[in-house]
Amino acid sequence: FVMPSVEKRGKIVIVTGVPGVGKTTVLNAALDLCRESGREVSLLNYGNVMFEEASRRGLVRARDEMRHLPVKTQTELQLKASELIRQAKGNVIVDTHTFINTLKGYMPGIPSWVADSLKPDAIVLLEADPEEISRRRMKDAAIRMREADSPERITEHQFMGRSGAAAISVQTGCTVVIAKNREGAHLEAAKAIASLFEGE
């Protein structure tokens, strides 16, 4: 048995959660906490990196249109983004999804080759009450085009997220953290994520 070689570099934490759960909100707060305690951490949004490439190719005008592209095209964009993201140095948080709702079903946001390329130390699942997530999506309707899913569908999507995180953990050896983003308490989740960069 040969342990996979672990290169000495910063920590990589993948943060996932269904659209509108509050990843970006929580992560901006987590970054502030890390900065306050003198820890350098950079934040990369997987979808934004894909969107830059998709815009360059003239495929979409808005970020939320990408999930309606052919799955094959989305996979190409995903590969391109993984090449850019793996070059990031130091401590990195990757804001992404375990599964994306496409027209052909759930597509993995972190297929095995992305997981192998990123070699995460931990994967965080940000979860919230499905009814709450529906309301959060509605609040942003003017700036984001998020799906108006039923609470049952959101529950299913969160279940898929847990299954996906478990698979990535077994594949890569990373730990899994399930964090709740409770209403009005995004700082609580931010603290849990910031603490992953403490110590060894």
Which stretches of the chain bind ligand ATP, using CB under 6 A? 17, 19-25, 136, 139-140, 144, 146, 181-186
Question: For residues 76 and 54, what is the distance between their CA atoms, to the nearest angstrom?
Answer: 10
Q: Which residues contact residue 105 at a Cβ distance below 8 angstroms, ignoring those fewer than 6 apart?
A: none
Helices (H), 128-150: 130-139
Question: For residues 25 and 2, what is the distance between their CA atoms, to the nearest angstrom?
Answer: 40
Q: How far is the CB of 132 from ligand ATP (least distance, A)?
A: 7
Cβ distance to ligand ATP smaller for residue 101 or 172: 101
Q: How far is the CB of 96 from ligand ATP (least distance, A)?
A: 8
Q: Which two tokens stand for residue 197?
A: 């960069």
Cβ distance to ligand ATP smaller for residue 116 or 155: 155
Question: For residues 81 and 138, what is the distance between their CA atoms, to the nearest angstrom?
Answer: 29
Number of residues written out for the chain: 200
Binding pattern for the stretch 3-42 against Mg ion, x by CB under 5 A and - elsewhere:
--------------------xx------------------
Cβ distance to ligand ATP smaller for residue 28 or 173: 28
Cβ distance to ligand ATP smaller for residue 116 or 187: 187
* CA-wise closest residue to 20 among 105, 147, 151, 142: 147
> Which one of Mg ion, ligand ATP, none interacts with residue 161, CB within 5 to 8 A by kind?
none
| Binding-site ranges for Mg ion (CB under 5 A) | 23-24
